[in-house]
Structure 1
Amino acid sequence: MAPPTMKAWQYNSTHGSMEKNLHINDAAPQPVLHDDQILVQVHAIALNPVDYKVTEGPMPLRLIGSNLIPGLDFCGKVAKVGKKVDEFQIGEYVFGAKPGALANGCLAQYTAVDRNMLGRLPEGVKVEDAAGAGIVGLTGYQALAPNVKPGNKVFINGGSGGTGVYGIQIAKALGCHVTTTCSTPNIEFCKSVGADEVIDYKTTNIIETLSSKGKIFALAVDNVGSPPNLYKSSSSFLQPSGKFVQVGMTASISGIKQIGGNMLLPGFLGGGRNSYQMLVSKPSADAFRQLSEWMKEGKLRGVVDSVFEWEEAPQAYEKLKTGRARGKIVVRVPLDKEKERA
């Protein structure tokens, strides 16, 4: 008996850019399901910069594999469960993510996911809205939840991108006052997802504005990596016990040097004085349960910039690379013998 197949977008080269090398394989093998995994019939995926940044970077593709399927974030229906899985049932809707799954992503009709990287989709939440919650929701939760308590003031650098949009909402769900940054056209957008105060980085010096408020912030979350001296200056606006969490950074040699300096240079030699963490998100069933609960309560909602059809996936990545998306870019996936959920 032949193994089951599926439609999938794949690529074997990034010459000229990843999206220019994408092609549809109508007979790609379905993923093999391990005992502690769930096979999800994907209905929609949301794009992330990491989908292409790793393979377009210095890492040779031959060291990663061939027939690579991009995509980390998804929403869909449980098709099968592994022998050790009892918390998810066939037929229920879920959202989730695949951390670092470069060779076996989710821009396909099916994807196999570890049990601790899934959340249950609440009734009334659209598949497209939840598709982008996985990586950014998990990242935002792990950046914020361990480091704040209700009533704290939080600074989020970069509020209008995918990570920022979820970070603002998670901080508000945790009972915090949120100050964020964005460009002039996105000020009202950031306020609409919960930001209490917005700093326009196009017209305002971020560090001077934050420092003028005094040492009032319990936490700073940097989704951008700019200005480059933000961490070194953070002792002027962070409480002495306050923490600086790095989430995003420019993908360049200067960005790598910046992170190295932030992590290794002591304060008395010109480095930052507050606690610093370069966040690497980790699988967490508890985090996904909380994200699902906040969705159910209406405290966390997906913000979709645009939705592309299956055949338009390369154009979706082109738009992602412009850096102008407000919220998530979503691609719909054609279903296998089923009608899409309304």
Structure 2
Amino acid sequence: MKALTFKRYGKSPEIGFSDLPRPTLKADELLVEVHAAGLNPIDNMVMTGMFKPILSFQFPATLGSDLAGVVVAVGSQVTRFKPGDAVFASLFDLGRGSLAELAVVPEHAAALKPANLDFVQAASIPMVGLTSWQALNERARLQAGQKVFIPAGSGGIGTFAIQLAKHLGARVGTTVSTSNIELVRSLGADEVVDYKKQAFEEVLHGYDAVLGTLRGDALEKAMAILKPGAKIVSLIGPLDAAFARARGLNLVLRGVFGLMSRKIRRLANRQGASYSFLFVRPDGHQLAQLGQLLEAQRIRPVIDKVFNFEQAKEALDYLAQGHAKGKVIVSMR
């Protein structure tokens, strides 16, 4: 089968198409014919090797995490799906990729595709949907009436997280450039800061939660807008010791990650807030719940651009520029 792969970590990962053997199934797995694959910033970050101590790949490694497609075979212990079912899933952190003609998906990671979405739309959902759900529902425990700051509201994660936060009854603050103000307001954002004209930390106040989506000093600046008891959930680091413990990493890495996050945790403590790093996990049951919201049109996909499979490398390059409004998708058909 054809797949977009990389062969090593670093500045020259040798990205290209490879002919790989048809995958074989374990008892609890599905073989899915991929119709579309959603791209995420971490797909580019993985190739640098920055997650090498955490994520395991065998080279050549297939790129991509999100997919939507049709089940063509199931393992002997699979009970929730059958050949012919349209599904969507995230393969992130499973040592396999989605930018391929066929993908192996563990049953626990898959959900039926929302009936009102096509494959391109469905492929835009898994990672941003699960990340938003796990950050806002599980980690921040966002309640109706609370205020959550979701910077970079026009990006892939921002466009979904704003809608989920509004569904949960929260008030949402975000930052965008002038041209994207109308977009995030249409998604439900209540307080919108044009970062080219104003500093968000001088405008916003009284926030109960912050979703860390931007590198640099954005998290440190966000301390100024927090209430005592606020929760900071970061998707981009720094990694912390709690994450290392949850992954079963050794004491050395626990210590390293603890040092990496010491400054931000200290700043959070001064504000009476808490800090944690979130590494999204595949979860088909959560995807199914998100699918219900999508079918009820409580949340809608936001897609910036669709590339064909032969343009998959160009799609990754386009995503790396950081200007996408919503998601970038590779369509196999």
Give the TM-score normalised by the residue count of structure 2: 0.85
2:51 corresponds to 1:54: no
1:179-213 alpha-carbon deviations (Å, 9 max, x no partner): 111122211111122212211111111111123xx
Quick check: 2:228–2:271 contact (8 Å CA) kept in 1? no
SS in 2 for 1:157: coil
Quick check: 1:233–1:272 contact (8 Å CA) kept in 2? no
Show the counterpart of 1:133: 125
Distance in 1 (CA, whole Å) between partners of 2:130 and 2:151 is 17
Quick check: 1:73–1:96 contact (8 Å CA) kept in 2? yes
Distance in 1 (CA, whole Å) between partners of 2:292 and 2:114 is 8
Corresponding letter in the other structure for 2:263: G
Show the counterpart of 2:211: 221
1:86-143 alpha-carbon deviations (Å, 9 max, x no partner): 11222111111112245x3111011111222222112221111110211111000011
Distance in 1 (CA, whole Å) between partners of 2:221 and 2:74 is 48
Show the counterpart of 1:185: 179
Equivalent in 223, 226, 239 of residue 238 of structure 1: 226
Corresponding letter in the other structure for 1:240: P
Q: How many residues align?
A: 312
Matches within 5 A, 1:298-317: 298-317=297-316
Show the counterpart of 2:135: 143
1:294-342 alpha-carbon deviations (Å, 9 max, x no partner): 11100122111111111111111110111111111111114xxxxxxxx
Distance 1:59 1:124, change over 3 A: closer
Question: How many angstroms does 1:242 deviate by?
Answer: 2.1
SS in 2 for 1:89: coil
Corresponding letter in the other structure for 2:184: C
Distance in 2 (CA, whole Å) between partners of 1:23 and 1:137 is 28
Distance in 2 (CA, whole Å) between partners of 1:285 and 1:7 is 26
Distance in 2 (CA, whole Å) between partners of 1:329 and 1:233 is 28
Distance in 2 (CA, whole Å) between partners of 1:233 and 1:14 is 33
Q: Percent of counterpart pairs with the same letter? A: 34
Distance in 2 (CA, whole Å) between partners of 1:107 and 1:55 is 14
Supply the RMSD in Å over aligned alpha carbons.
2.6
Question: How many angstroms does 1:151 deviate by?
Answer: 2.4
2:81 corresponds to 1:88: yes
2:61 corresponds to 1:68: yes
Matches within 5 A, 1:6-25: 6-13=1-8, 16-18=11-13, 21-25=14-18
Show the counterpart of 1:45: 37
Quick check: 1:116–1:284 contact (8 Å CA) kept in 2? yes
Distance in 1 (CA, whole Å) between partners of 2:217 and 2:225 is 15
Distance 1:52 1:305, change over 3 A: same
Distance 1:172 1:75, change over 3 A: same
Distance in 1 (CA, whole Å) between partners of 2:57 and 2:283 is 25
Question: How many angstroms does 1:60 deviate by?
Answer: 7.4
Show the counterpart of 1:325: 324
Equivalent in 187, 190, 196 of residue 196 of structure 1: 190
Distance 1:154 1:310, change over 3 A: same
Question: How many angstroms does 1:17 deviate by?
Answer: 4.9
2:254 corresponds to 1:261: no
SS in 1 for 2:62: coil
SS in 2 for 1:281: coil
Distance in 1 (CA, whole Å) between partners of 2:85 and 2:233 is 35
Equivalent in 97, 103, 106 of residue 98 of structure 2: 106
Question: How many angstroms does 1:262 deviate by?
Answer: 1.5
Distance 1:313 1:250, change over 3 A: farther
Distance in 2 (CA, whole Å) between partners of 1:59 and 1:159 is 25
Corresponding letter in the other structure for 1:244: I
Corresponding letter in the other structure for 1:117: A
SS in 2 for 1:71: coil
Show the counterpart of 1:337: none
Distance in 2 (CA, whole Å) between partners of 1:28 and 1:54 is 20
Question: How many angstroms does 1:233 deviate by?
Answer: 5.0
Distance in 2 (CA, whole Å) between partners of 1:276 and 1:98 is 26
Distance 1:267 1:64, change over 3 A: closer
SS in 2 for 1:276: strand
Quick check: 2:32–2:72 contact (8 Å CA) kept in 1? yes
